[in-house]
Amino acid sequence: MKKIEHIGIAVKDLEVSNLIFEKLLGVAPYKSETIENQSVTTSFFEIGSHKIELLEATNPESPIVKFLEKKGEGVHHIAFLVEDIKLEIKRLKSEGFVVLNETPQIGADNKWVAFLHPKNTNGVLIEICQEIK
Ligand code: ZN
């Protein structure tokens, strides 16, 4: 684990939240992108060497819909940057964590991503991500 890469925040309306975070941070999002396989549209803000990812559902089956129903808007996940995601998945499994997708998926912002089940991480959804080269 190299650093916290970004914090993901689940929102109901990306347009509204983009404006809120633009005011809050004093910068516009540098990227907005829809990830079909995860049923989300995201936008990214850069703050120093960290990022904020806003996530909006693209359809009723999106995990973001379920999250909003259960918990409402708010922090959805913390993402850690890793050097070698496959190696890290192996290591985390051997430590007893439950990896939700053992094959890394293509995520937002040019990354391979995998998620850990929050039941083993004090209720926090953890993402690990690796830059796609
Ligand atoms: Zn993320």
- pTM (2 decimals)? 0.94
Q: 51 CA to middle of ligand 1, Å? A: 9
Span 6-18, mean pLDDT?
Answer: 98
Average pLDDT, integer, range 7-17: 98
Measured in Å, residue 95 CA sits from the centre of ligand 1 at 22
Q: What is the DSSP letter of 45?
A: E
What does the pLDDT read at residue 46? 97
38-88: per-residue pLDDT in tens? Answer: 999 999 999 999 999 999 999 999 999 999 999 999 999 999 999 999 999
Q: How far is the CA of 44 from the centre of ligand 1 (A)?
A: 10
Pairing of strands 74-81, 125-131: parallel
Average pLDDT estimate for 83-106: 96
Mean pLDDT of the chain: 96
How far is the C-alpha of 82 from the C-alpha of 130, rounded, in Å? Answer: 5
Rounded distance from Cα 80 to ligand 1 centre (Å): 9
